[in-house]
Chains A and B, each alone.
Chain A
Amino acid sequence: MVGSAVGSAVGSTVGSIRHHVRIHRTAAEVWALVGDPARLHEWFPGIVACAVDGTTRVITTGTGMPMPEEILVNDPGQRRFQYRITAPVFQFHRGTIDVIDLDDGTCLVVYQTDADPRTMALVIAGGAAGALRELHRQMEPVGAKG
């Protein structure tokens, strides 16, 4: 259901992992949930709370750990949401979620994670893959093709 691609230049400390899922709902319907930064905890298993203040979001993980983030892009026209985790464990992080209209009443949701250290890309992207599965579960009519 969820596809993925993993990349990193050999020797690089940055890891890039992309997951995607096709959802049989319109892009506008999916974006209504995905594009609301205060609702992330509704579809990202392992995030239990979100607090948004301007371009700052603090999420709380299932382990009780607060994780501060900066919202970089929230563009309803392109249906792109981009953020970075600002916690010191990251030298660099950028998360990008695109909701792409497939012009047939369905859409493709792509969740890309770029992170340094690269190990954290695996950890965050593992959560992102679970989020896409949950998003699919919530939004797909029962019996629709995944």
Chain B
Amino acid sequence: MGRKILFITTDQQRYDTLGCNGGTIARTPVIDAVAAAGVRYERAHPQSVVCMPSRSTMLTGQHPSTHGVWMNGVALPEDAPSVADVLHAAGYRTAIIGKPHFEPFLDPFGRFPENGFARNGTFGGHRGFEHFESATHGGAGPLHYARWLSTTHPEAVGMFYPVLDHSLEVNAAGGRDTGAPQAHHNPMPREWYHTDWVADRTISWLESLGADDDWFCWMSFPDPHHPWDPPAEETKRIDWREVPLPAGYIENASERERVLDAKPKHWRTWYDGTLVSNYEAPLHWVPATLTADQLREVTALNAVEVELIDEAIGRVLAAIRSRGWDDDVDIVFTTDHGELGGDFGLMFKGPYHVDALMRLPLIWRPAPSCAPDPSTVSRPVGLVDLAPTFCSIAGLPVPAWMEGRPLPIDDRDADARGFERVLTEWDSELFGISVHLRTITRDGWVCTTYQPGSQHDGTEGELYSLADDPLQRVNRWGDPALATLQSDLVADLWDHQPTMRTPLLPVDAPV
């Protein structure tokens, strides 16, 4: 009997939403306790700041350039390597429960297996997961949660916010007290909400296992990704009027616009509503219209969703304890990417490589039977390191096709094994608008180069000191005093950037 692995992911969660990371709005005692007993990473970055490429990185241990999911809407090939395959082949029982999103959601032809299991009344296997039970942000669609809700509580299907509008664009409609985009009053009781469903189904799957089974369970919560429509009764936990504005929000509009103007131009054009460069942000929402009260309300609703996740995790951990497994279970908690959350007056996500989207919560509590020393890692690591970590936990060699390495357990380990840099990439081409970014984070700097696209000529960049400018307000790209540093960082980036897979995989849907 070996070590079991509970891999917990959320969707679009900021680093600063957890108490253990300094968050002050959501109460997250369960995750905070996990962090206190394990390793807390202070500089964990995704390799893409949107869902499908990032989740594909978690599964494959490869950068997007390598696995080929270069933007949302590109399906991860069915024969792509999978850490779940590796673990299953080694005798692990494997499951993913919650949001997978390795394949597009908008799938009227039913072309993608991920969307077909619930329709067929099956649960995989797929991509190495012998049990594949899926959910996403609402009550409609082809996934297991939607089928469950429409069968058991059909009156509740329409209670969620409609994520897409009548044109199938990301919905900009506002609601609740302030009219904030994607804020919505959802009268659903929490027992029917997808967060508790994911925990319930996870517990059910764990209960189906034998006492001596080794298992790898990816529990994947769809929240706190927008829409912000948690069960209405739960929203009473936090009065949005008392919520402080985020540190990254610049209250003075002139100052905010001055900061945006010092960044590559797609920052300001999006803010002004003249260009939405990517599908993931509402096409008809203008960030410049965001009010402080709207931001307070969204922040509060987001925090409620984070609290519900924390409580759901607590129930799952209790179930694990009740099976007598706790000493042998590794717990890894992270998210796929961040959320702009009001930083620079922006919300949602897009081609913006700053901490709001790139600095992620990542916690690893090794199995207590290993007597781990609690620690904090400040060196850069990536989600690309997760799959190798799972192999390491299972006592398996890291396959050569994985590009990451097992996570360091402290800074000394990180230094000894050369955790110096982490890379993040963005590519999107949508209806004539193309944006291409490559980013390196190392030595306390975040450096982004822009490749030629419809909005950039390839000379643009961003360079921020994380020590002196933690909110990334002063773009030092092109500063003569930093010319050598900038040049070295760009050279190091290209020395380590994987070659883009060619030909590009097709875009099958917007998301």
Contacts and interface: CB of A to CB of B under 8 A. Distances in A.
B430 interface: yes
A118 B431 contact: yes
Nearest to A67: B108
A63 B164 CA distance: 20
Interface in A17-46: 44-46
Contact of B510 (A4, A89, A119): A119
A51 to B, nearest CB: 17
A2 B506 contact: yes
A71 to B, nearest CB: 19
A82 interface: no
Interface in B159-180: 164, 166-169
A130 B104 CA distance: 14
A117 B169 contact: yes
B320 interface: no
Contacts of A130: 109, 111, 508
B506 A129 contact: yes
B167 A13 contact: yes
Contact of B508 (A61, A63, A126): A126
Contacts of B115: 63
A15 interface: yes
A141 to B, nearest CB: 22
Contacts of B491: none
Interface string B444-480: 0000000000000000000000000000000000000
A142 interface: no
Interface residues of A, number: 31
Interface string A85-105: 000010000000000000000
Contacts of B33: none
A88 to B, nearest CB: 10
A119 B119 CA distance: 24
Contacts of B111: 45-46, 62, 126-127, 130
B433 A10 contact: yes
A144 interface: no
A123 B106 contact: yes
* Interface hub of A65, A120, A126 (most chain B Cβ within 10 A): A126
Interface string A106-146: 00000000000111101100110110000000000000000
Nearest to A118: B431
Contacts of B432: 6-10
B180 to A, nearest CB: 23
Contacts of B108: 46, 61, 63, 65, 67, 123, 127
A59 to B, nearest CB: 10
A63 B141 CA distance: 11
Contacts of A44: 109
A44 B506 CA distance: 16
Given A6-B431, A8-B431, A129-B508, A63 B169 contact: no
A28 B306 CA distance: 60
B510 A122 contact: yes
A62 B110 contact: yes
Interface string B303-319: 00000000000000000
B85 interface: no
B139 interface: no
Contact of B168 (A7, A61, A119): A119
Interface in B405-463: 429-433
A26 B142 CA distance: 40
A68 B28 CA distance: 51
A61 B507 CA distance: 19
B272 interface: no
Contacts of B110: 46, 61-64
B509 A126 contact: yes
B430 A6 contact: yes
A61 B430 CA distance: 25
A129 B115 CA distance: 19
A95 to B, nearest CB: 14
A47 B431 contact: no
A145 B383 CA distance: 39
Contact of B109 (A2, A12, A47): A47
A122 B509 contact: yes
A92 B431 CA distance: 17
Contacts of B508: 122-123, 126-127, 129-130
Interface of B: 73, 104, 106-111, 115-116, 119, 142, 164, 166-169, 275, 279, 429-433, 506-510
Smallest CB-CB A-B distances: 6 pairs: A46-B109, A62-B110, A126-B508, A8-B431, A117-B167, A119-B168
24 contacts: A6-B429, A6-B430, A6-B507, A9-B432, A10-B275, A10-B431, A10-B433, A45-B111, A46-B108, A62-B109, A63-B109, A63-B119, A117-B166, A117-B169, A119-B164, A119-B168, A119-B510, A122-B106, A122-B510, A126-B111, A126-B506, A127-B109, A127-B111, A130-B111
Given A9-B432, A10-B275, A130-B109, 20 more contacts: A6-B507, A7-B431, A10-B431, A46-B109, A47-B109, A62-B111, A63-B107, A65-B108, A117-B169, A119-B106, A119-B167, A119-B279, A122-B507, A123-B106, A123-B168, A123-B509, A123-B510, A126-B111, A126-B508, A126-B509
